[in-house]
């Protein structure tokens, strides 16, 4: 995966990005796509592998007509390298069940890009923050049994009356403790840009700076930033790519439902030298049985064009 965050490097490289993409959505100086996303070089260091998130088949997993085992088989049919296990759809965290999934993935030639859980780290109550740490620790253990090396976490919503500064402090404190535990098990925690305190790149980068761990990164969902313009969406994506430990790929922005310029995103991945998985996270209106393969094909095409892998 990508290199760890070094404090000095962060201040030099990411500090400028934080300044231009402030908390609470103020517009900053933006770089035109023509200069920000240079054409890929034959010697590109970007290595991007195609994956699929289980939540892409939420309709069928919720209905019980698809199991996690069925999803693995579907991933093979799709021709992807990896699966991202959305833990909401696991039958249990029983070790025998998790190790059976690990064995099944191995037999099918699938890697795990990671597992994904819900968390609410932005808590004003210290006891609640401690409970979130314990929750993450339990899922770190489950992720290790599964055979994955990455666990997606959420920052959570900012409590009423709390300042963004306090919210960042609470999330960083919680994530730092969780990362210390995860590091001993070889698990990286990726905080996702998912509304609330992590709605903008600047807040996420500040959290990572305070956590200051090689086992902390960004589960970068390219559709989720809450910005005032499409241009700011791409600016936030660019700021986060160097610290991304996993990608969730959609082709529509969540808030506006406008199409995402995936070509431009892949150019930013090249510029940021991203190395890792790009997992389709399909949530469009078209049935996933026909919609997911179309999104996967877009990702495959871009990987063939821009990835050295």
Angle 53-303-33 (CA atoms, 0-180°, nearest 5)?
A: 100
User: What pLDDT is recorded for position 41?
Assistant: 53
Q: Would 37 be classed as within a structural domain?
A: no
Q: Would 86 be classed as within a structural domain?
A: yes
Host domain of residue 123:
52-306
Alpha helices in the chain (DSSP H): 7-9, 15-20, 33-36, 58-63, 68-78, 95-107, 126-146, 164-183, 201-211, 230-240, 262-271, 288-306
Place of tokens 């925690």: 189
Q: Would 179 be classed as within a structural domain?
A: yes
Pairwise CA distance, residues 71 & 83, whole Å = 9
Q: Would 33 be classed as within a structural domain?
A: no
Q: Would 188 be classed as within a structural domain?
A: yes
Neighbouring residues of 283: CB distance < 8 A, sequence distance ≥ 6: 55, 56, 58, 250
Number of domains present in the structure of the chain: 1
Counting Cα atoms < 13 Å in the Cβ hemisphere of 168 gives 18
Q: Would 257 be classed as within a structural domain?
A: yes
Q: Would 229 be classed as within a structural domain?
A: yes
Q: What is the torsional sign of CA 192, 194, 199, 203?
A: negative
Chain-centre distance for alpha carbon 266: 15
User: What pLDDT is recorded for position 10?
Assistant: 43
Q: Would 255 be classed as within a structural domain?
A: yes
From first to last of the 309 residues of the chain, give the pLDDT tens digit.
444 444 434 443 444 444 444 333 323 333 333 334 444 455 688 999 999 999 999 999 999 999 999 999 999 999 999 999 999 999 999 999 999 999 999 999 999 999 999 999 999 999 999 999 999 999 999 999 999 999 999 999 999 999 999 999 999 999 999 999 999 999 999 999 999 999 999 999 999 999 999 999 999 999 999 999 999 999 999 999 999 999 999 999 998 999 999 999 999 999 999 999 999 999 999 999 999 999 999 999 999 999 998
CATH of the domain at 300: 3.20.20.150
What does the block give as tokens for 111?
A: 């890697």
Q: Are 202 and 22 in contact (CB under 8 A)?
A: yes
């Amino acid at each position: 995966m990508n290199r760890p965050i070094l404090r000095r490097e962060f201040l030099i490289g990411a500090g400028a990005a934080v300044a231009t993409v402030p908390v609470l959505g103020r517009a900053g100086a933006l770089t035109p796509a023509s200069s920000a996303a240079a054409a890929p070089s034959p010697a590109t260091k970007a290595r991007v592998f195609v994956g699929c998130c289980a939540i892409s088949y939420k309709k069928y997993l919720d209905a019980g007509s698809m199991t996690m085992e069925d999803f693995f088989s579907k991933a093979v049919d799709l021709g992807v390298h990896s699966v991202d296990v959305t833990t909401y759809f696991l039958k249990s965290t029983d070790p025998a069940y998790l190790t059976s999934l690990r064995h099944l993935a191995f037999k099918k030639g699938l890697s795990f890009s990671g597992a994904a859980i819900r968390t609410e780290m932005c808590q004003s109550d210290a006891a609640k923050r401690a409970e979130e740490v314990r929750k993450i620790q339990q899922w770190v253990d489950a992720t290790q049994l599964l055979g994955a090396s990455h666990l997606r976490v959420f920052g959570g919503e900012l409590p009423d009356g709390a300042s963004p500064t306090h919210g960042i402090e609470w999330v960083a404190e919680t994530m730092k403790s969780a990362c210390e535990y995860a590091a001993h098990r070889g698990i990286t925690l990726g905080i996702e840009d998912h509304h609330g305190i992590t709605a903008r790149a600047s807040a996420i980068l500040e959290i990572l700076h305070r956590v200051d761990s090689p086992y902390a990164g960004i589960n970068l969902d390219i559709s989720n930033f809450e910005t005032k313009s499409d241009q700011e969406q791409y600016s936030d994506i660019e700021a986060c790519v160097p610290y991304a430990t996993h990608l969730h790929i959609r082709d529509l922005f969540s808030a506006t439902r406008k199409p995402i310029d995936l070509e431009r995103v892949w150019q930013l991945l090249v510029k940021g030298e991203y190395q890792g998985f790009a997992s389709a996270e399909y949530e469009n209106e078209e049935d996933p049985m026909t919609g997911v393969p179309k999104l996967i094909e877009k990702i495959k095409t871009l990987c063939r064009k821009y990835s050295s892998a």
